[in-house]
Amino acid sequence: MTYRDLNTPIRTIMTPGPAEVDPRVLRAMATPVVGQFDPAFTDIMNEVMEMLRALFQTKNKWAFPVDGTSRSGIEAMLASVIRPGDRVLVPVYGRFGHLLMEICERYGAEVEAVYTEWGTVFEPAEIIRKIEETKPSIVAMVHAETSTGCMQTLKKIGHACRERDILFIVDAVASVGGTEVRVDEWCIDGVIAGTQKCLSVPSGMAPLTYNDRVEKRIASRKKTERGIATEEELKQQSDIFIRSNYFDLGMLQDYWGPRRLNHHTEATSMLYALREGLRILLEEGLEERFERHAFHEKALIAGIKGMGLELFGQKEAKLPTVTCIKVPEGVEADSVRSMLLEGFGIEIASSFGPLHGKIWRIGTMGYSCRRENVLAVLGALEAVLIRQGVPVNRGEAVQAALDCYMKPAVKAPIEA
Ligand SMILES: Cc1ncc(COP(=O)(O)O)c(C=O)c1O
């Protein structure tokens, strides 16, 4: 039996992840594999740690990727800091807040959740009140909710946590590399990024960083190995040691740090990919990259509004890397997405739970965040909506975006 050559269609990917992978990253992935303890490879590991510190704008000692998708990083962070019975406050404003709650529960936390309507975010004072009321030892929350296209301000919450000696853990999977995430300045103790979003690297690694407060907690939960500890010691430890081997950040530290103790077998080609993604990002410059994301977001919004469509979500809380659009009355949201994919090779996203069928989500992340992609998605969406009989302002979407691109005073920051 023979199978056809792998031959995937060329797509314009405008979802909130995965974003298109930078061709340079794809080329780096074809680099020959070397052993994980080969000095040629451990040098690469050290470089990636250094580049991650720059990405996270942190002086933290620990910054490395966990192998697995973004939730592997989230799970590693939570598994490593939550001791069974710890009270964890999780403010929820979309689907990924629920994911944090679920992971916290699985690791034995007593979870206190606070909710706000999808499409809105919290006033920091509200969270601080809840902190006062519930006295958690950890606050875990999402910075950028891809499910609603909203972004939570974190600085005041981070400072409030630090003043009360509470650990502040943040899922910044959809924001890191696309918009500002100031880990040290905002007093974030542990934060997780995503490769498949604003870094334009395939899914499969979860970069994270944490400070000495988290490191101290991890050190207090170190497991003495079976065969070394006495049975009595093992029994005493069982309440505190990290309930995962794969996600034990203490063990990962021993592998990523100078001891180089064997843990898992490193995903070599993914690390090449991450290194190249970070190299591209640092060549572009963090500030320039954030500006590029904001610049194309503006053109996209102008086009959407020009067409006569409405945005979803609290305006001041809009996440620059994801734009949510209300599906016009009577339109079958998924059939529009199918026509875009089949007719134009363009992928946009639906949303989850209460928002499924109610909004479309367009991602402008990393390598996907380019002028040609924004113009293509606007032109195609308009065409599909006209076919579906929606009374859009014909011809205005692309023109409105072009007006943004052609404003003489504004130059496109780096056209990828
Ligand atoms: C904000 C946020 N957190 C976590 C995740 C989970 O990431 P993954 O699917 O890579 O495990 C996603 C994925 O879309 C996300 O958008």
Measure 74 CA to ligand 1 centroid, in angstroms. 9
pLDDT at 239: 67
Instruction: Say whether both 41 and 74 belong to one domain.
Output: yes
Which residue type, as a one-letter code, is found at position 255? Y
Token readout for 393 is 């302002």
Same domain, 61 and 168: yes
Which of 281, 299, 318 terminates a domain? The answer is 281
Residue 56 CA to its chain's centroid (Å): 12
Query: DSSP 3-state assignment of 350?
Result: coil
Are both 277 and 290 inside the same structural domain? no
pLDDT, position 1: 84
Atom of ligand 1 nearest to the CA of 71: 11
Structural element, H or E, at residue 346: strand 346-347
- 4 located within any domain: no
Q: Which mutation among 146, 151, 192, 361 tests ligand 1's pocket best, with the greatest number of atoms within 8 A of CB?
A: 146
398: CA distance to ligand 1 center in Å? 30
Closest to 314 measured CA to CA, from 118, 138, 154, 36:
118
Residue among 13, 66, 70, 247 to mutate when testing ligand 1 (max atoms within 8 A of CB): 70
Count of the separate structural domains present in the chain? 2
CA distance 339 to 400: 23
- Does residue 150 belong to any structural domain of this protein? yes
- Return the structure tokens found at 304: 């959407």
Determine, yes or no, domain membership for 248: yes
Task: Tell me the C-alpha distance between 190 and 205, whole Å.
Answer: 16
| Token duo for residue 365 | 């992340």
Among 21, 376, 372, which Cα is nearest to 198's?
Answer: 21
At residue 96, the pLDDT reads: 98
Q: Compute the CA torsion angle 13, 64, 91, 124 (nearest 10 deg).
A: -100
Q: What is the DSSP string of 40-103?
A: HHHHHHHHHHHHHHHHTT---SEEEEEESSHHHHHHHHHHHHPPTT-EEEEEESSHHHHHHHHH
Q: How far is the CA of 125 from the centre of ligand 1 (A)?
A: 27
263 and 306 share one domain: no
Q: Residue of the nearest CA to atom 16 in ligand 1?
A: 146
Positive or negative torsion for Cα 173, 178, 179, 182: positive
266/325 same-domain check: no
Contact 257, 49 (CB under 8 A): no
Asked whether residue 3 is domain-assigned, the answer is: no
Residue 284 burial (CB count, 10 A):
17
Check whether residue 216 and residue 342 sit in a common domain. no
Nearest CA to ligand 1 atom 14: 17
Tell me the pLDDT of the chain (416 aa) as tens digits: 899 999 999 999 999 999 999 999 999 999 999 999 999 999 999 999 999 999 999 999 999 999 999 999 999 999 999 999 999 999 999 999 999 999 999 999 999 999 999 999 999 999 999 999 999 999 999 999 999 999 999 999 999 999 999 999 999 999 999 999 999 999 999 999 999 999 999 999 999 999 999 999 999 887 766 667 777 777 766 668 898 999 999 999 999 999 999 999 999 999 999 999 999 999 999 999 999 999 999 999 999 999 999 999 999 999 999 999 999 999 999 999 999 999 999 999 999 999 999 999 999 999 999 999 999 999 999 999 999 999 999 999 999 999 999 986 555 555 54
CATH number at residue 343: 3.90.1150.10
Domain residues for the domain of 370 are 286-406
Which ligand 1 atom lies nearest to the CA of residue 142?
Answer: 1
Is residue 34 a part of any domain in this protein? yes
Predicted pLDDT at 416: 47
- Residue ranges lining ligand 1, Cβ < 6 Å: 17, 69-71, 96, 142, 144, 146, 171, 173-174, 194, 203
**pTM exceeds 0.75 for this model:** yes
In a domain, 332, yes or no: yes
Q: Taking each helix axis from N to C terminus, what angle separates 396-406 and 371-387, rounded to the nearest 10 degrees?
A: 160
Q: Which CATH number is 153's domain given?
A: 3.40.640.10
Q: How far apart are CA 211 and CA 170, in angstroms?
A: 13
pLDDT at position 255 is: 96
Please give the helix or strand (H or E) that residue 167 lies within, else none: strand 167-171
Q: So what's the pLDDT on residue 415?
A: 53
Q: Report residue 288 as tokens.
A: 């320039």
Q: Indicate the residue among 281, 297, 327 that finishes a domain.
A: 281
What whole-number distance in Å separates Cα of residue 375 and Cα of residue 333? 20
- Mode of pairing for the β-strands spanning 138-142 and 87-92: parallel
- The span from the CA of 222 to the CA of 41, in Å, is 27
Q: Are residues 204 and 308 in the same domain?
A: no
> Are the C-beta atoms of 294 and 320 separated by less than 8 Å?
yes
223, 246, 281 — which closes off a domain?
Answer: 281
Quick one: 147 and 113 in the same domain?
yes
Q: What is the residue whose two structure tokens read 């049975």?
A: 231
State the distance from the centre of ligand 1 to the C-alpha of 69, rounded, in angstroms: 8
Nearest to 37 by CA among 352, 264, 208, 219: 264
pLDDT at 372: 98
- Is the same domain home to 146 and 245? yes
85 by Cβ neighbours in 10 Å (0-12 / 13-18 / 19+) ranks as exposed
Return the bridge partners of 138, or none: 88, 167
DSSP conformation class of 220: T
Dihedral pair phi/psi, residue 349, rounded to 5°? -115, 160
